[in-house]
Structure 1
């Protein structure tokens, strides 16, 4: 019985080792993160400002013309209730527009958690910090596409 009581004393020490998230900001007051989706990679910088969002040197509403893509881009900021408080600068390469919007969203979410670690719980619950790993399946030899077979001909 004495052995079990000594183990009981050690238990709270292991529970107290929860990860502590620290603010990561560079000398210019910006936090940086990389976001990915499909084949698109976004480099995102977040700093305190007026709410201006720039993607590849252009305003995000001109770069992502479809309202759905604009909405995807703004989701993490709206979920964190920080609309109009951060300037976001992003450079995106690869993939199509939808993948790029998802990559920027992922990058903005990560950069917000680096800038303000208290937002991690809200963004994690919204699913913005999880990298969507779905990518296009490669084409296999002997197939028309990834899985589609060539048309069967009896004669």
Structure 2
């Protein structure tokens, strides 16, 4: 079982973890700050024991990390887990922006069902079922979203 420390503290950027399992270049930890791909949001970039994380798979109560190379550490060892804070902060901002766009889109169209999403450090995308093109709405959505962001409303976190 991997304790997901980022659920309790979205701004935590490092921790010390006990290695639960090592198999080649895959690793399971007792706790982590590295978010694994879920709900369309990209995996955090970071390191475990100084080795880059290449991939992460969230299996529910356990996260399996694939490292860029086989680690020198073994089960039972303690390692430092560190995220790339610049990457995390960019994803955090785009994730929040996607929620803002979604609010104005849903308000304008009445469509509340999302059928897909993707948020990474380069973009945020939401997919909605629509029989008509939404291109004519994009300018208005951008204006409303930017106005809202400039108003500097506080951001609340819901779990």
Into which bin does the TM-score normalised by the smaller protein fall? Answer: under 0.3
Which one has the bigger strand percentage?
2
TM-score if structure 2 supplies the norm length? 0.25
Q: Flag the structure with higher helix content.
A: 1
Q: Which has the larger radius of gyration?
A: 1
TM-score, normalization by structure 1: 0.25
